[in-house]
């Protein structure tokens, strides 16, 4: 059985890790390079870095940050934010990232998924999906959940897989920031219908939420992503992993 993964997520703005609510009232919570090294030392399985202020001018600065991160850690990491072309992905992968995450750009141009996968391999492509439940239909959103597309979560995830996505990172915008737990039923359904790993994001408030979304009887996700609970020390990765192992969830210690 494949081990489950614990993935801290760091939102980057102007070279600093920030945290807020719906990208508002952002405040710095630390240096991303030092935080990355600390999480790697604590036993995180992977890391995700999202450049939430990505611009043409900022791309070089972000790629330089990626290079600095790559020198300090020995675990895989994914970068995203503003990636809209194969060349954008190439810059970050050459800088040392193991994977790139694409979201709004993939909705606009689904063949960006296959273009990146064809050049670098499906293992490098994470398709992030932000969706909201509207009258029982999970509608895919873009631009941080502020705009609705005409796509539906499950059909879009299946198509992304067919185009070459190596992983799906689904964030429930209804749960994000609530600290009330993940959308476990949706992760369970995604895991059953897809042949690629599913990363759960949005709603983690404590260790029990992570245990639930990774459990076969819960969300059965392949990985759990979280930010605040790790950044503020509410949950420590070594303690979390011991709890998961004690409950029979396969995890790398």
Annotated catalytic residues are 11, 130
- The three-point CA angle 103-193-208 to 5° equals 75
Q: Are 76 and 98 in contact (CB under 8 A)?
A: yes
Which CA distances in Å does 111 have to 29, 141, 161, 197?
Answer: 36, 18, 12, 20
**For residue 12, what are its two tokens?**
């980057």
Rounded CA-CA distance 163/112 in Å is 9
**For residue 217, what are its two tokens?**
């009887």
Pairing mode, strands 77-80 and 99-102: parallel
- What is the helix (H) or strand (E) element at residue 42, kind and residue range? helix 32-42
Rounded CA-CA distance 1/249 in Å is 10
Among 50, 49, 103, 116, which Cα is nearest to 76's? 49
In three-state secondary structure terms, 90 is helix
Rounded CA-CA distance 154/139 in Å is 9
Rounded CA-CA distance 92/138 in Å is 31
Among 153, 221, 229, which Cα is nearest to 191's? 221
**For residue 94, what are its two tokens?**
């050459």
């Amino acid at each position: 059985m494949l081990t489950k993964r614990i993935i801290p997520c760091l939102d980057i703005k102007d070279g600093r890790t920030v945290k807020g609510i719906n990208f508002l009232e952002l405040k710095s919570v630390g240096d991303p390079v030092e935080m990355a090294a600390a999480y790697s030392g604590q036993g995180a399985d992977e890391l995700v870095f999202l450049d939430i202020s990505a611009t043409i001018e900022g791309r070089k600065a972000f790629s330089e940050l990626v290079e600095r991160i790559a020198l300090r850690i020995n675990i895989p990491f994914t970068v995203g934010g503003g990636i809209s072309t194969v060349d954008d992905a190439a810059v970050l992968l050459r800088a040392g990232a193991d994977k790139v995450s694409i979201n709004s750009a993939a909705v606009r141009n689904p063949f960006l998924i296959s273009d990146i996968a064809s050049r670098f391999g499906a293992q490098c492509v994470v398709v992030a999906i932000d969706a909201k439940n509207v009258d029982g239909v999970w509608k895919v959103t873009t631009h941080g959940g502020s705009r609705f597309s005409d796509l539906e979560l499950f059909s879009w995830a299946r198509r992304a897989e067919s185009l070459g996505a190596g992983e799906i990172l689904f964030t429930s915008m209804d749960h994000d920031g609530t600290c009330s737990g993940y959308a476990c039923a949706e992760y369970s359904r995604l895991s059953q219908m897809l042949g690629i790993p599913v990363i759960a994001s949005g709603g983690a408030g404590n260790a029990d939420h992570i245990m639930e979304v990774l459990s076969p009887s819960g969300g059965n996700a392949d990985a759990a992503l979280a930010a605040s609970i790790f950044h503020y020390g509410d949950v420590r990765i070594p303690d979390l992993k011991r709890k998961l192992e004690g409950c029979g969830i396969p995890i790398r210690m």
